[in-house]
Structure 1
Amino acid sequence: MKQVKLLDCTLRDGGYVNDWEFGHDNIVTIFERLISAGVDILEVGFLDDRRSFDRNRTIMPTTQCADQIFGKLDKGNTMIVAMIDYGTCDISNLSPCSDSYIDGIRVIFKKHVMHEAIQFCHEVKKLGYKVFAQAVSITSYSDRELLDLVDLVNDLEPYAMSLVDTYGLLHQDNLLHYFQLLNYNLKPSIAIGYHSHNNFQLAYSNSMEVLREPADRTVLVDATLYGMGKSAGNLPIELISMYMNTVFGRNFNVSQMLEAIDISIMPFFRKSPWGYNLFFYISASNNCHPNYVRFLMDKHTLSLKSINTILDAIEPEKKLLYDKDYIETLYRRYQSTECNDEADIQALSASWSDRPLLLLGPGKNLELEKEAILSYIKAHNPITISVNFIPEGIPIDYAFLSNSRRYVQLNNRLLEHADAQGRPVRVIATSNVTNVKDTHFDYTLNYNSLIDQNAEIIDNSFVMLLNVLTKTSIHHAACAGFDGYTVDGDNYYNSAMDYRIAREKSQSINQYVIDTLERLAGTLTLEFLTDSKYVK
């Protein structure tokens, strides 16, 4: 006979948002509210022997530590479970179930270690715990591989086997396909669980489908308060409990859940919000690990079209196993469009030989010291070159574009600026930037010849332009608006240009530019018209 059950994993999966530091009072409040709400299974956190015990956190090295936090709380009729990511908690850290407050252990594991993980599950079961076999990244399994896992699980006979949609990739058809494979092949005594993520905003609808699907066994779904969890978040327990009350005659007390959300969850949401957004949509739509998307977006040199092109090039077996060196290689390969720029270098050299140069960066001091810059332009009549932006109220002759994302943003501004000045702005683009009008830029320079392959950020736009100057035999230039970076992110005259990686790495980026200027000192002299962290 089919039973439907509800498992709350707020204190475990929600912990990715706050490094599991809910605070002891919040931990107790969340626990007691969920017990009062009548959830069937409550997951109280991770068991991870790499972490020290902290009563304010729900990531604990041993079952005895969990006893210290929860042991005096009344669990009523709810099953209490904890999770182990296989390989992060030795079996010696688990007391026998008869001596523990915890009733069950959920073991998550990736496909390539499923044999070792199931063997670990056997050891956990011998200690008396109800065991849950959690197959993460279920979309990485072929049917044959999943059936091989089912054979191992049938031999184990755990309490449940769960489909874990780690990156929120499942749509209804393939979700039900996986569910049916398990339903037809697992022993009837083994429950089927479903753990969803909300990258495609399908956690709620998919969970309803799983609960509705015919099955002569227990079916359980995971959820968290307000959907709290990493990436796009999880299934909101307050939604699915209402559905289960209405359709399956359950009697969950939703008011208790709402109280826990109001008092204990919303402060975390306001500080570090979770939920559907473009970042997690991109990772899900490309069936890939979200860290690949984070890596490429943090470059702040790529349009979304370019990011999708790179993600599409990831080999299938690499999609869900993040490899930083691998995605760095793909990024460099994509950016390294080769071109013969000898003629354009010569043309720029000739054009720049008879007037001084003024380089313009997008720092706040460009606006703060605009009058002094305009006075310099009036007195010296320089050739002005802006870097990946168009300044307000300052005439420019050239725009140097090395960043395809900035170029997409600036395309209309380039046309408007030309109209306002009554003359065209000549565009110098590096070969990784593609013209939106499918025509040639005024000058196209070889990206590979301008980057620094050994730098932490290989394509610093200011350094790339300095390399252009040395190639064109320029020995002196004035600079304005190259302020350098600060931790607080107050780096640009236009706040929309700010990006996280520049704040996080501000000190190392500043030092890299300082070192570059020292290296070029005998070849190129720069005069800074505005304050800059690049000048000691």
Structure 2
Amino acid sequence: MFVLDCTLRDGGYYNNWNFSEELVNHYLKAMEAAGVSFVELGLRKSKSNKFVGASGFTTDCYLRRFSIPETLKVAVMVNAADLLSTPDIFNELELLFPNDSSNSPVDLVRVACHVHEFEAALVASTWLKKRGFLVGFNIMQIAERTSDEIEALARCASRYKEVDVLYFADSMGGMGPDDIVKVIQSIRKEWQGEVGIHAHDNLGLALVNTLAANDVGVTWLDSTVTGMGRGPGNTRTEELVFEAAERLGKKLELIPLMQLIEQYFAPMKNQYGWGSNSYYYLSGKYGIHPTYVQEMIADSRYDEADILAVLDYLKMNGGAKFSPSILNEARNFYRSESKGNWKPVDLIKGRQVLILGAGPGVKEHLGGIEDFIRREKPIVVALNTKSIIPEELIDIRFACHPVRLLSDCNEYMGLPQPLVTPFSALPVNVCKALEGKSVLDFGVNVQENKFCFSETNAVLPNSLVISYALAICTSGKAKRVLLAGFDGYGADDPRTLEMESLFSLYLSQEERCEVTSITPTRYSIPVTSVYLL
């Protein structure tokens, strides 16, 4: 049995492979003490279009800086996509591995392959073996493949005697122990060599799946410290080494590993937030690439309702391969045209409209805002369900987020104001939940970087409710739009850039309303004081 810890490779997806040398030295001592067999100290790449730390390249020169314990074997990983994107795979290998194994700190080279890359990449095993390296091939996203397809992949691998270990990865983390055993049985029909497993923890089953694989003869077992790795992470080394020591009847020294976790990895986990949660559970259950969840959790523009809505979209439309453009598309729910039937001009033509945001400015200037409403009698709009303004001063509510609408249905039913929403474009379950509510249907269609206004619908650049509100005011020919509670976010918050872009685009439209904030705001829009109105 070989425990292969790949923390510095898989964990690099969180910190761009930028681990301090102090951490690496402590890590190597802890791995030796814990009885780990192999340490995969990073990726081996020849180029990058962004800053990547030393473990993103893991050169021999870098590795020689460390006193690597004799009991530890060193591994690096190469992505098959990098090899196959070059004109000559062997020239690329020569560039990546200028030294043979006898002159290199590297003992094992693993090649990570998507299924469509696997057969073409296998020729690298011959080149690597001639240089004296142990060779492993990792097949990713195995759960999506049928038994026949897995057997065919194993058959391809069996033609290359230079491959020492054939790994499979439960990349989406959606497999259970029975699924793991079935994959191994399919592999064993055509492959007689060593087998390894790389498990993800979406469902909280990474350790269980790894041990189930070992029970049926899989001898190479991957793990990472605290599970650090892309998405929900992996089998946790601190748990796997305990189980391995028990199965092998060996003594275990965990104190250096626990100290390593306390000093370095616990703070990083707090910072980056890896580990399984309900969102990763759903991504594993529905075969969605965990990077979608990882990106959304790290991006403050996505709240709980956004993440659930995107996962629902990817469940229906396919999310096995990560794509930033698909993530952006999934967040904008109204891609097909929604005509609507309510004309806002009947309510707000020639009137001032006050839109209440959720920022602290409303509470801070509540008295002034209430005085203004009672004196000037604007049309008062609350966004979604929240507002600290008394209900009798609010005329109408706007909302357009389908998941938030569903979760807030009971609140809407108890609120006295009519609700404006793209009703005819909402999912059936949302429409049913709003039965009995006074709903006004103003349609919407999302197209990037575009506003367009019609009597009963509009084109918006995104599905933010403020975009929807500005469009309704414009279609309704409001005299002017006043904003309260749009304080803004911090300079480094991605929501700031999104809102600035939105206001800039709207204010550049030939057909637009005058927009003024009456409470303090960080956004680049005209500002006055509620106390001057």
Shorter-chain TM-score above 0.5:
yes
| 1:193 alignment counterpart | 196
| 1:91 alignment counterpart | 93
The answer on 1:241 being equivalent to 2:241 is yes
Aligned length: 495
> Deviation digits for residues 224-256 of structure 1, max 9, x if unmatched?
222222211111112122222223323343333
> Deviation digits for residues 424-445 of structure 1, max 9, x if unmatched?
2111112344345252642011
In the TM superposition, residue 112 of structure 1 has moved relative to its aligned partner by 0.7
Task: Choose which of 193, 197, 202 in structure 1 pairs with 2:205.
Answer: 202
In the TM superposition, residue 306 of structure 1 has moved relative to its aligned partner by 4.3
Change (3 A) 1:133 1:305: closer
The answer on 1:128 being equivalent to 2:128 is no
Aligned mates of 2:346, 2:231 — CA distance in 1 = 52
The answer on 1:118 being equivalent to 2:122 is yes
Aligned mates of 2:222, 2:242 — CA distance in 1 = 14
The answer on 1:517 being equivalent to 2:507 is yes
Q: Secondary structure of 2:380's match?
A: strand
Aligned mates of 1:339, 1:508 — CA distance in 2 = 24
Q: Percent identity?
A: 20
| 1:529 alignment counterpart | 518
Aligned mates of 1:414, 1:484 — CA distance in 2 = 26
AA paired with 1:249? G
Structure 1 contact 361–482 (Cα < 8 Å) conserved: yes
Aligned mates of 2:210, 2:505 — CA distance in 1 = 55
Structure 1 contact 54–60 (Cα < 8 Å) conserved: no
In the TM superposition, residue 98 of structure 1 has moved relative to its aligned partner by 1.2
Task: Choose which of 158, 171, 179 in structure 2 pairs with 1:174.
Answer: 179
Task: Choose which of 474, 478, 486 in structure 2 pairs with 1:474.
Answer: 478
In the TM superposition, residue 303 of structure 1 has moved relative to its aligned partner by 6.2
| 2:107 alignment counterpart | 103
Aligned mates of 2:101, 2:468 — CA distance in 1 = 62
The answer on 1:454 being equivalent to 2:454 is no
Aligned mates of 2:54, 2:129 — CA distance in 1 = 26
The answer on 1:78 being equivalent to 2:72 is yes
The answer on 1:359 being equivalent to 2:350 is no
Task: Choose which of 384, 388, 392 in structure 2 pairs with 1:388.
Answer: 384
Structure 1 contact 97–129 (Cα < 8 Å) conserved: yes
Aligned mates of 1:52, 1:39 — CA distance in 2 = 33
AA paired with 2:420? I
| 1:22 alignment counterpart | 19
Q: Secondary structure of 2:251's match?
A: coil
> Deviation digits for residues 277-312 of structure 1, max 9, x if unmatched?
122112111112134456788565956764454223
Aligned mates of 2:74, 2:433 — CA distance in 1 = 61
Aligned mates of 1:516, 1:131 — CA distance in 2 = 57
Q: Secondary structure of 1:406's match?
A: helix
- Equivalent positions of 1:397-408 (< 5 A) are 397-408=395-406
Q: Secondary structure of 2:77's match?
A: strand
Q: Secondary structure of 2:24's match?
A: helix
Aligned mates of 2:17, 2:256 — CA distance in 1 = 22
In the TM superposition, residue 66 of structure 1 has moved relative to its aligned partner by 4.1
Q: Secondary structure of 1:454's match?
A: coil
Structure 1 contact 5–40 (Cα < 8 Å) conserved: yes
Structure 2 contact 226–237 (Cα < 8 Å) conserved: yes
- Equivalent positions of 1:311-390 (< 5 A) are 311-315=314-318, 319-326=319-326, 335-336=334-335, 338-342=337-341, 344-345=342-343, 348-353=344-349, 356-390=352-386
> Deviation digits for residues 437-485 of structure 1, max 9, x if unmatched?
252642011112xx45435952232232222123223233433223344
In the TM superposition, residue 170 of structure 1 has moved relative to its aligned partner by 1.3
AA paired with 2:20? G
Q: Secondary structure of 2:463's match?
A: coil
Aligned mates of 1:474, 1:205 — CA distance in 2 = 61
Aligned mates of 1:248, 1:485 — CA distance in 2 = 55
Change (3 A) 1:13 1:368: same
5+ residue gaps, structure 2: 84-91, 451-459, 527-533
Ranges of 4+ aligned residues in structure 1 off by more than 6 Å: 52-56, 294-297
In the TM superposition, residue 374 of structure 1 has moved relative to its aligned partner by 0.8
In the TM superposition, residue 61 of structure 1 has moved relative to its aligned partner by 5.7
Structure 1 contact 165–195 (Cα < 8 Å) conserved: yes
Aligned mates of 1:391, 1:377 — CA distance in 2 = 14
In the TM superposition, residue 209 of structure 1 has moved relative to its aligned partner by 1.0
AA paired with 2:525? V
> Deviation digits for residues 248-285 of structure 1, max 9, x if unmatched?
32334333322322233223223223211122112111
Structure 1 contact 194–222 (Cα < 8 Å) conserved: yes
Q: Secondary structure of 1:386's match?
A: strand
Q: Secondary structure of 1:88's match?
A: helix
Task: Choose which of 485, 502, 506 in structure 1 pairs with 2:496.
Answer: 506
AA paired with 1:529? I
| 2:454 alignment counterpart | none
Structure 1 contact 337–446 (Cα < 8 Å) conserved: no
Aligned mates of 2:23, 2:189 — CA distance in 1 = 41
Change (3 A) 1:54 1:40: farther
AA paired with 1:130? L
> Deviation digits for residues 485-512 of structure 1, max 9, x if unmatched?
4336xxxxxxxxxxxxxx2152353143
In the TM superposition, residue 353 of structure 1 has moved relative to its aligned partner by 4.8
Structure 1 contact 21–57 (Cα < 8 Å) conserved: yes
Aligned mates of 1:58, 1:368 — CA distance in 2 = 49
| 2:253 alignment counterpart | 253
AA paired with 1:401? A
The answer on 1:164 being equivalent to 2:169 is yes
Note the aligned Cα RMSD (angstroms).
2.9
Change (3 A) 1:37 1:312: closer
Structure 1 contact 283–293 (Cα < 8 Å) conserved: yes
AA paired with 2:496? S
5+ residue gaps, structure 1: 419-423, 489-502
Aligned mates of 2:339, 2:370 — CA distance in 1 = 36
| 1:496 alignment counterpart | none
Aligned mates of 2:52, 2:23 — CA distance in 1 = 11
AA paired with 1:273? G
Change (3 A) 1:117 1:55: closer
Aligned mates of 2:17, 2:184 — CA distance in 1 = 31
